[in-house]
Structure 1
Amino acid sequence: MVSSPYTDIDRPPLHGRNLERALVRPGGLWTRLDLRAETASTNADAAEAAQRGEPEGLVVVAERQTAGRGRRDRTWVSPARAGIAASVLLRPGQPNVDRAWPAAPVAAYGWLPLMAGVALVETATRVAEVPAVLKWPNDLMIGDAKCAGILAEGVAGAVVVGIGLNVTLRAHELPTDRPATSLQLAGAELTDRDPLLRSLLRAFATWYDRWRLAAGDAEASGLREAYRHHCGTLGREVRVQLPGGAELSGTATGIDADGQLVVSGAGGEHSIAAGDVLHVR
């Protein structure tokens, strides 16, 4: 017998038709909502659609994700209906005459996961009303515990941005290899995934529009300043594990024009394009 999605009253299913009516509108960014009961990876699903030529604006959402991936190939798995697992398909290199969007340069694409982080932290603070910040580059943190992560991937000339947010996970359901939490455990005022997902996608669409109108310029669009405002890494003593195993310690002092973390340490300032950041107490 197939279990009902209403078995756990704290975890009702998403309402696909309502979400589609609210998000998929003429002239808007989102063109199609693909809501799945279960999938291995929403990023993989969106990447397959990109390879088939799907236009910009696809949103893939899964009630349960069994093989989600984070940075450095870490797995991200959540019980059914306990979180938000969503991926969006973007084609920033294609101009859009109707929306007065010029093509964004490939060099600016690194801002897309940071943009998703800004949309996510705005939703967490304004809708869920939790004291969330971003840890560079795009982990959503509540205190010292991770509540969400973002993974962006380039595929077939497109960019797929995936977001995994812990909403109603209980303590025994969280990863044990690193500090983690959920909106519910953090005392969120709202844990209904429908308004959370609507807010997240609307915020992302607003920032994407500003960024595209500015031809991918994070400074001109206001994105860089918004990211700095929400970044809890700035001003902290950090230890950064760099690709290849080297480490860098110092003070996080800024976010440069390319979205890289600027760390002031031995030998002066260093711009970090990729790495795992540890906030040092």
Structure 2
Amino acid sequence: MTPQPPENRDKDAGRWSDLSRPPLNANALRRALVRPGSLWSSLDVVPATGSTNTDLVERAAAGGLREGAVLIAEEQSAARGRLDRRWSAPPRSGLFFSVYLTPTVPPARWGWLPLLTGVAAATAIARAAGVDTALKWPNDLLITVDGAERKLGGILAERAADGVVIGMGLNVSLTTDELPVPTAGSLALAGAANTDRDPLLRAVLRSLEEWYGEWQEADGDPGACRLQAAYAAGCATLGRKVRAHLPGDRSIDGEAVALDADGRLVLATADGVQQPVDAGDIVHLRPA
């Protein structure tokens, strides 16, 4: 065998330096997920990018992006959450991906897509990792680590051309020292039975395909496809006293009592008013 130049050896050493975090196998994922009749039309894995959401939004704007495109990054340097919050994680320590969907349901019901994605992810994680995951309205997934509620991941939906790009970040193998903030958690820290990213990703995408298909068949009706009930059943926000930080530097305190047919969180305030909230940052003030 011809010896490799030093610069190539250094590159390979860096790629494989953390053997507990092997890279995803794009070809194996395509064979499993991109099949005739499947929602998923393409699947790409890149070593690093700024944001998979930004990349797919730009590709959709340029034209030619088919529904079901999946873009996965082993590392993101400019990942974004709600309210344009930035976050980062070590390479291959989680699942960082975005998908492109072009729903045929009435656009007024597209607001259910991030909630649908949360239900799909929670269902898949329970099945594939053996960890119970709760939903924090509207875009977060929560787990319990050492008796405390922690954020496992988040979801970001953005309009793009004729469809929607939905991005997700899930912390899989992060250690305590690697957590970006003390309120974060990971599947490993929650005692997951499985932290292999390949089957976890397959499970999440298959679950998302299933829930999306049922939602489409019901013309986006969240009651008819069981989505509204499933989200309410898994939502850690309901039944708690919360503070909703709203656009325009306003806030509302109240008990989260329901999720209405539009996916809005309904707060019962101290003055007896039931106030629906369709956008805002929710802070849990009282434990479940």
Shared fold by TM > 0.5?
yes
Letter in 1 for 2:198: D
SS in 2 for 1:219: coil
Is the 8 Å Cα contact of residues 117 and 150 (structure 1) preserved in structure 2?
Answer: yes
- 2:133 is matched with 132
SS at 1:271's partner residue? strand
> How many residue pairs align between the two structures?
270
Q: Which whole-Å CA distance do the structure 2 matches of 1:196 and 1:7 have between them? A: 22
Is the radius of gyration larger for structure 1 or structure 2? 2
Which residue in the other structure is 1:209 paired with? 213
Equivalent position amino acid for 1:203 in 2: S
2:78 is the counterpart of 1:74: no
Normalising by structure 2, what TM-score?
0.91
CA distance in structure 2 between the partners assigned to 1:5 and 1:131 by the alignment: 32
Aligned residue for 1:218, secondary structure, equals coil
1:109 aligns with 2:110: yes
Q: CA deviation at 1:73?
A: 0.6
Q: Deviations over 1:15-49 (max 9, x none)?
A: 11111111001111000001111111000111122
Structure 1: where are the runs of 5+ without partners? 93-102
Percent sequence identity is 50
Distance (whole Å) between structure 2 residues aligned to residue 46 and residue 87 of structure 1: 7
2:157 matched residue in structure 1: 152
1:273 paired to 2:283: no
Match among 184, 188, 193 for residue 189 of structure 1? 193
Task: List per-residue Cα deviations over 1:58-93 (Å, max 9, x = no partner).
Answer: 00000111101000110121111000001000111x
In structure 1, the residue matched to 2:119 is: 118
| 1-structure distance, mates of 2:101, 2:255 | 34
Q: Which residue of 2 aligns with 1:99?
A: none
- Take 1:121 and 1:237, find their aligned partners in 2: how far apart are those partners? 23
In the other structure, the counterpart of 1:90 is: 101
1:272 and 1:61 mapped to 2: Cα distance?
32
Alignment of 1:240-279 (within 5 A): 240-267=244-271, 268-279=273-284
2:56 aligned with 1:46:
yes
Q: CA deviation at 1:4?
A: 4.3
For the 8 Å contact 1:10–1:168, the answer to whether it is kept is no
Query: Does the aligned pair in 1 maintain the 2:87–2:180 contact within 8 Å?
Result: no
What is the CA-CA distance between 1:239 and the residue it aligns to? Answer: 1.3
Task: State whether residues 150 and 163 of structure 1, in contact with CA within 8 Å, keep that contact through their aligned partners in structure 2.
Answer: yes
- Report the equivalent of 1:5: 15
Structure 2: gaps spanning 5 or more residues = 1-9
SS of 2:66's partner is coil
Amino acid at match of 1:121: A
* One-letter amino acid of the counterpart of residue 255, structure 1: L
Deviation at 1:266, TM superposition (A): 2.9
**Normalized against structure 1, the TM-score is what?**
0.93
> Using the alignment, how far apart are the partners of 1:14 and 1:90 within structure 2?
23
Which amino acid is the alignment partner of residue 235 of structure 2?
A: C
State the distance in 1 between where 2:220 and 2:168 align.
21
CA RMSD in angstroms comes to 1.1
